[in-house]
Amino acid sequence: MTSKEQHSDSSVDRATTDELEDRPESLGTRIIRRLKEPGTTSDFLLAIKAVIAATAAWAISIGVLDSEVAFLAPWTALLTVHATVHRSLSRGAQTIVATLVGMGMASLIMHFWEVNIWTFALAMFVGLMGARLSWIRHEGVAIATTAIFIFTADEPMFGDRVLELFVGVGIGVLVNMLVLPPLRDKQAGRYVDSLNRRMGAVLVDMADEFADKWDIDQADEWIEETHSMNDELNSAWQMVRLARESRRENPRRLLQRKIRDEDNDIDYEEVLNRIDEAISHLRNMTRTIREATWAVGDWDKRFREGWVEVAHHLGEAIADPDGNVTAQRRRLNELVSEMSSEADLPQIHWPLYGSMLSTLDHLGRLFDDGTTTRETRETPEGQDN
């Protein structure tokens, strides 16, 4: 089968795939797909854990501590349950400090002055100013809210309130550690898969467009697509940082180390750095070809057909979790050798052609070292190739 026939067959397959993807999803299918997304699952699990922690803290306050106003334990339990175990420990410590400061401030005001509109306003002002302190900045508002609780309680009973505080924070930390502590690698992998597919699709479309003609408007759309990729990449970086944080003080992580050596873990920071560089190369190549269209009258047929074939299949390999990028790099090296051996090399716009070939080589190198593999990507159900 010739390269043109292969290109034609792949175009037909892609057109068939596009038709299937364009079919509207039913409402039930969309709801199920959304519920299966890692982000939705994590949010749901976090809400469940917060409910468990607050309810358990309230039950202990009522049944064990025999508290008449069991508000502090469930409230601090809610404040302590966060997206990661490390954050729960950090925020829990800040909550304890801020709440103790709030209790102390309320105690001093109640000891030296009576509670009235002026002392209440003073407590709110001092509490909100204290919330600006960098070492309790996330939970600093607890200074003011604790003062409100103390002022509105019939009997402050500071000793009982301190005990409830530690019970609430302790339960919040324990629940987050013991009830499926979150690991966010799947969400990071989902972003990597999406970005790989988008970049591969742009490269395939670019090759198909360049095979027959070059539409300036289409080039502008691809450039906009690369800017959109950068936005998604920023979201991916946020998720990767959260995933890195979720590994700290995480019991699941400690258990996994017994089964899998930590050196085998995926370095998503390195993967995203490669994707960031690849997006820049893709955008620059689009601009180069768009600008060259005005200056170049006729493209060399040998180069055009060879570049289209390599770019098309390289894009498919990048988009496919099981794609063979190495094979496309070998074909690219063959094309470079063929073109560089031509006698009329200086007359065929070699600087431009060399730039286009060099960009494909850069993309191949970036994606030929773990960036496109299935191990780095969390493939959504129904998108396996």
SS3 track for 166-191: HHHHHHHHHHHHHCCCCCCHHHHHHH
* Nearest Cα residue to 204 out of 357, 309, 334, 361: 309
Q: What is the pLDDT of residue 8?
A: 45
pLDDT at 167 exceeding the cut of 80: yes
Tens digit of each residue's pLDDT (9 = 90 or more) over 142-163: 888 888 888 877 666 777 788 8
Tens digit of each residue's pLDDT (9 = 90 or more) over 235-281: 888 877 777 766 666 665 655 554 444 434 677 888 889 999 999 99
Lowest average pLDDT, out of 33-37, 71-75, 373-377, goes to 33-37
Q: What is the pLDDT of residue 65?
A: 82
Name the residue with tokens 């300036």: 216
Lowest average pLDDT, out of 145-159, 195-209, 309-323, goes to 145-159
* CA gap 300, 357 in Å, rounded: 14
Q: What is the pLDDT of residue 186?
A: 65
Confidence of residue 282 (pLDDT cuts 50, 70, 90): very high
* CA gap 297, 356 in Å, rounded: 17
Mean pLDDT of 37-49: 75
Q: What is the pLDDT of residue 1?
A: 45
SS3 track for 219-283: HHHHHHHHHHHHHHHHHHHHHHHHHHHHCCCCHHHHHHHHHCCHHHCCCHHHHHHHHHHHHHHHH
Mean pLDDT of 368-383: 66
pLDDT at 14 exceeding the cut of 90: no
Q: What is the pLDDT of residue 201?
A: 92
Residue 239, CA distances (Å) to 83, 88, 92, 138 in order: 11, 17, 22, 20
pLDDT at 59 exceeding the cut of 50: yes
Q: What is the pLDDT of residue 344?
A: 58
Which helix or strand (DSSP H or E) is residue 150 part of?
helix 142-152
* CA gap 250, 256 in Å, rounded: 10
Report the phi/psi class of residue 354: left, alpha or beta, with left for phi > 0 and alpha for psi in -120 to 50. alpha
Lowest average pLDDT, out of 15-24, 42-51, 180-189, goes to 15-24
* Nearest Cα residue to 99 out of 166, 172, 50, 175: 166
Instruction: DSSP letter for 217, please.
Output: H
Confidence of residue 11 (pLDDT cuts 50, 70, 90): very low
Query: Which domains, from first to last, does the chain contain?
Result: 39-178 (no CATH), 185-376 (1.20.58)
Mean pLDDT of 20-46: 63
Confidence of residue 315 (pLDDT cuts 50, 70, 90): very high
